[in-house]
Amino acid sequence: MKIPAALQSLQSVTSAVTNALKERQKERKRLRGPADLYYAIADSISMLDGASWQELAAQSGFFMSLEYLAALEQVLPLNLSARYALIFDGTGADRLLVAAVYMQIADISLAQARPEKSADIDKKWTLPLDQLAQHAKQRILSCGNFLTFGQHGIAFAKDVDPKLAWHGVVEVLYRVRQAEKLAGKTHFVMIKDLHDPYIDQAAHLENLSYRYVETEPNMVLELSPSWKNYDDYLASLASKYRSNIRNAIFKPLDEAGCSIERLDDLSPVLNDIFALYKAVQVNANFRPFELLPEYFPVLQAAAGDKFRCSIIKRDGRLLGFLISVADGETAIAYHIGFDRTAAEELPIYLRLLHAGIADAIDLGCKRISYGRTALEPKAALGAKPQTFGVFVRHRQPVLNKLMKRLLLGIEHEDAPDRNPFKKEKAAKAETSS
């Protein structure tokens, strides 16, 4: 008897779905089993083979370097602790490097996802939600660095099989999470700030209950090779944007007697730097950590000639700063602080963003990574969005949804599309993209 076409189509669809489910189950089983790899996991980077770490980190930039991580370990925020792992294929003299993994364990309360209350507010008026937030704590294991943005958690060996390497990474996270039960339950596992090509490489981790969540984009400004200094950047802008910068940013600061300078030694003004950092940090919607004052000179010493700090001063008083670090060919403009009272009348934040361009050009970088948030002013510089996302895993679905919303800023707007450059540069940018 001839089978109707509709039934044949249904059988074909059913067969395809069944095969897909079998493949998913097979992949899930593979990931849940041990990888054919070997691991060295440590609480301090000094306990691992430094030469092996450096061999991997040499291809992965400053923030995975032995020097930086060893220095950072001494000045981590009080609620963070570091873990490290080297992954090998084989043992003995014939072993091959697969990956280096940098992790942080963070103890975070929901109160850190709410703006900090003023010290002069009477505690009796504290809202019940604030009281609950103080006691609702989560322990988070992050593959990556809370202090930076970008993929600064894994250094892969060249030409390594991505599936094998990622299997090793999630096994490291599993082993660390299991070991940490002695200190307390780890509620949340996160692989942070992935971008292309890592997002596609790690997509199969969804078979292991990791969920991909897109976060706010990283705003990246590509620097033209023809820009030898900041004035070259300014000259490349369309007249409307250039006039706006001069009249709305430079002029008010000049009239107020402000100057922009490069700070070569942070130590004499360290208290001012920390106070300006705190002025911005306390108003952030999410504060997973608070830097220690001594962190800043330690970062400067570790980065050496890769470090730049631009400051705004008035009458000898520090009003703002921006710290940038060269990470390979990318300048990471990421620590910023400013006087909020002064910023109500002066465009301090915008001027610091422009100072970051001068610093990146001086560092010889090809682009600036400005990070998330403040998408509009960064787009006005010519920065374009780079998709960022994280893979997250949590045992409790309700808390999973809540913490993802707080940690990752799921509800975010798309970056505006701005092209501040002259038409010829805009046309070249469109052609190259």
What are 219-239's pLDDT values in tens digits?
A: 999 999 999 999 999 999 999
End-to-end Cα, the chain, rounded Å: 57
What's the pTM value of the predicted model, to 2 decimals? Answer: 0.85
Token pair in block for residue 84: 């490290």
Token pair in block for residue 69: 């991580």
Q: How far apart are CA 67 and CA 303, in angstroms?
A: 8
Bridge partner list, 154: 101
Question: pLDDT grade, residue 210 (50/70/90)?
Answer: very high
Q: How far apart are CA 36 and CA 165, in angstroms?
A: 10
| C-alpha angle 259-261-263 in degrees, rounded to nearest 5 | 145
Q: How far apart are CA 410 and CA 389, in angstroms?
A: 10
CB neighbourhood size of 290 (10 A): 17
Give the largest CA-CA distance in the chain. 95
Residue type, 238: A
What are 181-198's pLDDT values in tens digits?
A: 888 888 889 999 999 999
Question: pLDDT grade, residue 108 (50/70/90)?
Answer: confident
Asked if pLDDT for residue 1 goes beyond 70, the answer is no
Omega before residue 197 within 30° of 0, cis: yes
Q: Which of 133-137, 402-406, 416-420 has the highest mean pLDDT?
A: 416-420
Q: How far apart are CA 64 and CA 155, in angstroms?
A: 7
Q: CA nearest 176: which of 202, 207, 204, 153?
A: 153
**Residue showing tokens 């949340």:** 188
What are 57-97's pLDDT values in tens digits?
A: 998 999 999 999 999 999 999 999 999 999 999 988 889 99
Confidence at residue 183, expressed as pLDDT on a 0 to 100 scale: 81
Average pLDDT over residues 21-33: 53
Top-confidence residue, 332 or 7: 332
Describe the strand order of the beta sheet including 384-386 as a list of residue ranges.
258-262, 307-314, 317-327, 330-338, 367-371, 218-222, 384-386
Asked if pLDDT for residue 346 goes beyond 70, the answer is yes
| C-alpha angle 238-240-241 in degrees, rounded to nearest 5 | 70
DSSP code of residue 346:
S
Token pair in block for residue 10: 């249904």
Confidence at residue 146, expressed as pLDDT on a 0 to 100 scale: 95
What are 363-416's pLDDT values in tens digits?
A: 999 999 999 889 999 999 999 999 999 999 986 655 555 555 555 555 567 889
CB contact set of 123 (below 8 Å; sequence gap of 6+): none
Going from the N-terminus, what domains does the chain have, and what CATH number goes with each? 38-217 (3.40.630.30), 219-386 (3.40.630.30)
Average pLDDT over residues 415-433: 69
Confidence at residue 431, expressed as pLDDT on a 0 to 100 scale: 42
Average pLDDT over residues 113-138: 51
Distances (CA, A) of 205 to 84, 191, 198, 214, 282: 21, 11, 12, 15, 35
Distances (CA, A) of 273 to 26, 32, 181, 317: 54, 47, 38, 11
Asked if pLDDT for residue 32 goes beyond 90, the answer is no
Residue type, 381: L
Average pLDDT over residues 283-288: 76
Confidence at residue 282, expressed as pLDDT on a 0 to 100 scale: 87
* DSSP line for 210-235: -EEEE-SPEEEEEPPTT-SSHHHHHH
Confidence at residue 92, expressed as pLDDT on a 0 to 100 scale: 85
Token pair in block for residue 50: 């430094």
Phi, psi dihedrals of residue 176, rounded to the nearest 5°: -65, -45
Asked if pLDDT for residue 133 goes beyond 50, the answer is no
CB neighbourhood size of 243 (10 A): 11
What are 268-284's pLDDT values in tens digits?
A: 999 999 999 999 998 87
The answer to whether the CB of 258 falls within 8 A of the CB of 312 is yes
- Please state, rounded to an integer, the average pLDDT across all residues of the chain: 87
